[in-house]
């Protein structure tokens, strides 16, 4: 099976997927034990997928795990100290639909950069959320 994008592109996404490991460890450091699974699961499924991105079960696992983790974390953030900043930054990270648009248009570099930006912004939002009380 062939990859969905070129190696130069998916190496960037594989690298940016590691940011979720940092967020998971930061959750543990801050004592947010109910939240550390969300970025940790995204890290595991994302790294597993982006090491060789094809249209296999790993894609579906990554997408559904990320959706579930985002939903869980968004609900858990409802009464958090920095919820408004988190929701604002995290909302900006939801570039997935725009990335998909460029993917289907054949502009794989725009897709890659949008996906990578969503990883970065999501993790900035997570770090902000975990920096306060929840």
Which pLDDT does position 93 carry in this prediction? 79
Question: Could you read off the pLDDT of 28-71 as tens digits, one per residue?
Answer: 999 999 999 999 999 999 999 999 999 999 999 999 999 999 99
Q: What are the structure tokens assigned to 109, written together?
A: 């570099």
77 Cβ contact list (under 8 Å, min separation 6): 83, 86, 87, 129, 134
The domain segmentation of the chain, as residue ranges, is 7-130
**The pTM is what?**
0.93
Q: What are the structure tokens assigned to 103, written together?
A: 């993917």
Q: What are the structure tokens assigned to 46, written together?
A: 């994302």
Decide if 43 contacts 83 (C-beta within 8 A).
Answer: no
- Count other C-beta atoms under 10 Å from residue 5's C-beta: 19
Question: Could you read off the pLDDT of 68-111 as tens digits, one per residue?
Answer: 999 999 999 999 999 999 999 988 877 888 999 999 999 999 99
**SS3 of 80, please?**
coil
**SS3 of 5, please?**
coil
* Centroid of chain to Cα 36: 14
Residue identified by tokens 């639909």 is 97
DSSP string, 14-56: HHHHTHHHHHHHHHHHHT-TTTTHHHHHHHHHHHHHHTS--SS
* Centroid of chain to Cα 32: 18
Question: Could you read off the pLDDT of 104-121 as tens digits, one per residue?
Answer: 999 999 999 999 999 999
DSSP state of 10: H
């Amino acid at each position: 099976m062939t990859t969905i994008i070129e190696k130069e592109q998916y190496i960037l996404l594989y690298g940016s997927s590691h940011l979720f490991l940092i967020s998971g460890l930061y959750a543990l450091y801050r004592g947010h034990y109910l939240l550390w699974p969300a970025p940790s699961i995204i890290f595991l499924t994302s790294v597993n997928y982006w090491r060789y991105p094809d249209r296999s079960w790993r894609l579906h696992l990554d997408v559904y795990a990320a959706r579930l983790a985002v939903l869980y974390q968004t609900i858990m953030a409802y009464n958090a100290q920095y919820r408004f900043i988190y929701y604002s930054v995290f909302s900006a990270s939801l570039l997935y639909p725009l990335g998909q648009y460029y993917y289907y248009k054949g502009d794989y570099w725009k897709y890659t950069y949008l996906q990578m930006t969503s990883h970065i912004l999501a993790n900035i939002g997570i770090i902000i959320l975990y920096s306060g009380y929840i």
